Chains A and B, each alone.
Chain A
């Protein structure tokens, strides 16, 4: 089993609220990712980090921001949530050498 954890698993909030989705991994992986996925649809990369103090935007434009102050922690923040942000957010990290990607269980966000 992968040691990568996401909280909260489920979140229902009102429009305009600030939210932070937490992601932590205990495997010491340098590379971490955030993906967005709507039900039955494909995964879209929204942010990635190759190490501490390194963050980049992914292929899908997102209003969220990320930070990487510690290797094990890669939180995602939405300053002002909107209904269009309703989705599942999946955090992942890659194992060096093999490139195997480990996913957290996801955070399912609903913005009313």
Chain B
């Protein structure tokens, strides 16, 4: 089982739709949580950090559920320009290596259709 898991998608949605991604993590000792966006053949860029109380940035809302060990990203009113891969990143204590490291999910691909 991967330490950070995401549904790979692709999620194909029409413009204006609301779409939600979930990401589960394996270790309850995880400390920091982030959502990154990666466009095709580009480097990942920080979309938003995820705070315990949840946080919002325009059309984007991120939430953390420590009890169930998952984070979520909600995108409202989808735009064509939102088409990208969304990566979940968790600073967790690895069961395999015993060290703390930033661990990436495999990414969820979003395609917004006109």
Tell me the number of A-to-B contacts counted with CB atoms below 8 Å: 41
Which one of A12-20, A63-71, A72-80, A94-102 is at the B interface?
A94-102
Q: Does B27 contact A (CB under 8 A)?
A: no
Give A109 to B101 CA distance when docked, in angstroms.
Answer: 26
A67 to B41, CA, bound (A): 26
Q: Quick check: is B54 within 8 A (CB to CB) of the other chain?
A: no
Chain B: interface secondary structure?
strand
Complex: how many Å from CA A104 to CA B44?
Answer: 9
CB <8 Å contact, A103 and B89: no
Interface size class of B (residues with CB under 8 A): 20 to 34
What residues of B have a CB within 8 angstroms of the CB of A39 in the complex? Answer: 41
Task: Scan A76-112; emit 1 where CB is below 8 A from any B CB, else 0.
Answer: 0000000000001010001000111111111000000
**Could you list 14 A-B pairs, sorted by A, with CB under 8 Å?**
A33-B102, A39-B41, A42-B107, A90-B44, A98-B32, A98-B49, A99-B32, A100-B34, A100-B46, A101-B36, A101-B89, A103-B43, A104-B43, A106-B42
